[in-house]
Amino acid sequence: MSGKPHVEDRIAEFFKQEKYRSLIARSAAQRLSSIPLDFNDLIVFDEELSHLLVDEPLKYFPLLEKAAWEQLRIEDPAYAAETKEFKVRIYNLPEIKLIREIRASHLKKLIAVDGLIVRASAVKPIIKTAVFRCRSCGSEQTIPQDGQRLVLPESCISIKCRGRRQKFDLVEEKSEYYDYQIIGVQEKPEDLPPGQLPRSIDIGLRGDLVDRARPGDRVIVTGILYAVQEKTGEAPLKTSKLYLEAVSIETASKEPEALQITLEEEKMFREMASSPDIYQKLIDSIAPSIHGLEHIKKAIMLLLLGGRTKQFPDGVKVRGDIHVLLVGDPGTGKSQLLRYAAQIAPRGIYTSGRGSTAAGLTAAVVRDKGGNMILEAGALVLADMGLCSIDEIDKMRPEDRVAIHEAMAQQTVSIAKGGIVATLNARTSILAAANPELGRYNPYESFTVNVNLPITILSRFDLIFVLRDEPVPEQDQKIASHILSLQSRAVPPAEPPLKPEILRKYISYAKRIQPELTARAAKLIENFYLQMRSLYQQTSTITITARQLESLIRLAEARARAALREYVTEEDVLDVIELMKRSLSEVGIDIETGKLDIDVILTGKPKSIRDKFAMVLKIISEIQEKKGYVEDAELREALREQGIDDQEIKMLLNRLLSDGKLYTPKPGVYRLV
């Protein structure tokens, strides 16, 4: 016992420091029931005391909170009398444990873990001190509660009952309660060893800690580790489950901008941005192991930086996130680019189409142990304020792929199942990759024939690029040399201009900047848009729509961010126009006429084909008016006169039948629906 007064005195002395006196005074002024305590301050003040607190928190924590309350009584006696207890929220423990490293040796110790919140229960009141009334004499007694079951009085304390065992009623209005919530924290994707399932731990939050964080947040939780008996069918099994009672919870950077950037780094970034070759440096630092593909690396750089999210006075939001789709032959490096982008993004999630379901991408409704329905966040919600790479998006089942539509346009995920109706944030950029339907991209067919993706999803991508694997001797020589130099020890691999950790911090820093469109830059975008639209008069094909106009603004803002500029210049606009032209020329082109036609993506049919469909329907309509039906031979003859060959006639008729525009009452006869 001799050491105890010494410890109590040291703790009391700790709270008499200027910093903690002002913290306690501020908490009292704001009517808060706790104060934060930086563990580093405790180490500096008394290292021995800090060790005692970590090793025996159940013994020393009550002393710490009692000393804090005593100090509160000095700072604000009125508030101290009002509040019976004053909590101390310890944070900043020197060592943060991985969830999979927690062992039995950590039981009853103070530890810190970090991870992603994947579920959160409802907040429930739990009884703290129960007041019981004797049924026989009506006398009341108070019993503190601390455990799973309600502790009843053993006997009545009044003289009337003389200590006999009586029956008692709980007086709810006089009993004290506190708020309680259980959250599930799972390992972060980047901490996961290959081939392992992510592990999670249940964490109990009490009092003012409830609802501090929500699913999708990355958190650091400091708490005391307990073992709870598991309810299993077989009684002899004495298995326990680990459970953490939280002392403090910090959201560790919900936004990528919250990454800690020092003044020296800020100065270094500003110097980097002032050099004229900053764009080239950034592009060369993205997936340096992949040779070439400069325009795609530029698109990924812009996607990582993103544009400015705008909210108009009427509440309408315009997304700033950029979506890019890569379609290409096997072996062109699509998956490598996707994985690299997910690693470099301040918050990146990588997933593959075949292994993803709608619930896995958005949110799943699961039943917790109490029988309540709770939400578990999926990939798009976990990638909020970051990037989600979806590989092989064409291999997803159509009913699962529909889940992405809302996240791409509205940046939210809406759930209505199991009695839960909720809207979650999914402010994420999507970088997707798809393979051509027949294995290789056929340049003689339109883009929508090559790619098995619905128009609704294609039209939401800002940029779409086609990666073709064509034998070009000079290019093949460069790729072969590049791969061999990477894999042979004779030639040291070239270092990227910016190391991945610097690139990640640079992107985080650049995302803080909100660039504005200058009048001259806006005029350039307007001129390009109007010039492309005016082609309609000459070619009757729609070359660009308002969606591409918004994309251009986003891309120009992202390029301005790359150089840490507060405004968008004409150079930014001209550069992204070139990128947009390249995307349009690869995708939005009518193969038959060779003219740009954005309707290839927006409607799935280029204008030349749509014109032919209109012609077929017109001829059928004319013949049907005279005879009431159209014979196959007669229709084919009429179409041949219009210069359409037999192969195309077959394709047009099959398409009209499958689209439900025509039907055949009997073989060889057509009628309009």
Gap between the Cα atoms of 286 and 282, Å rounded: 7
Gap between the Cα atoms of 584 and 591, Å rounded: 13
Q: What is the mean pLDDT of residues 322-334?
A: 82
Q: Decide if 517 contacts 557 (C-beta within 8 A).
A: yes
- pLDDT, residue 590, reads 44
Q: What is the mean pLDDT of residues 624-649?
A: 74
**Which one of 3.10.450, 1.10.10, 3.30.2000, 3.30.360 gives the CATH number of domain 607-672?**
1.10.10
Gap between the Cα atoms of 168 and 154, Å rounded: 10
- pLDDT, residue 236, reads 53
Q: What is the mean pLDDT of residues 621-639?
A: 75
**What fold, for 270-510?**
Rossmann fold (3.40.50)
Residue 385 has pLDDT above 60, yes or no: yes
- pLDDT, residue 112, reads 92
Residue 661 has pLDDT above 50, yes or no: yes
DSSP letter for 23, please.
H
What's at 558, amino acid-wise? A
Gap between the Cα atoms of 470 and 559, Å rounded: 30
In this structure, are strands 200-206 and 240-251 parallel, antiparallel, or unpaired? parallel
Domain map of the chain by residue range?
A: 3-91, 104-252, 270-510, 516-602, 607-672
- pLDDT, residue 254, reads 45
**CATH class (in words) of the domain with range 3-91:** alpha beta
Neighbouring residues of 398: CB distance < 8 A, sequence distance ≥ 6: 454
- pLDDT, residue 222, reads 92
Average pLDDT score, the chain: 78
- Better pLDDT: 488 or 328: 328
Gap between the Cα atoms of 465 and 474, Å rounded: 22
- Better pLDDT: 26 or 637: 26
Q: What is the mean pLDDT of residues 3-22?
A: 78
Assign 252 a pLDDT band (cuts: 50, 70, 90): low
DSSP letter for 202, please.
E
Residue 234 has pLDDT above 70, yes or no: no
Share of the chain above pLDDT 70, in %: 83
The residue to which tokens 């249940």 are assigned: 202
- pLDDT, residue 12, reads 85
- pLDDT, residue 540, reads 42
- pLDDT, residue 564, reads 84
Question: Whole-structure pTM over 0.85, yes or no?
Answer: no
Assign 223 a pLDDT band (cuts: 50, 70, 90): very high
- Better pLDDT: 424 or 372: 424
Report, at the CATH architecture level, how domain 104-252 is classified. Answer: Beta Barrel (2.40)
Assign 200 a pLDDT band (cuts: 50, 70, 90): confident
β-bridge partners, 240: 229
Gap between the Cα atoms of 647 and 664, Å rounded: 20
DSSP letter for 619, please.
H
Gap between the Cα atoms of 407 and 180, Å rounded: 32
Q: Decide if 626 contacts 666 (C-beta within 8 A).
A: no
Burial classification of residue 64, based on how many CB atoms lie within 10 Å of its CB (0-12 exposed, 13-18 middle, 19 or more buried): buried
Assign 604 a pLDDT band (cuts: 50, 70, 90): very low
Residue 487 has pLDDT above 80, yes or no: no
Residue 509 has pLDDT above 80, yes or no: yes
Residue 565 has pLDDT above 50, yes or no: yes
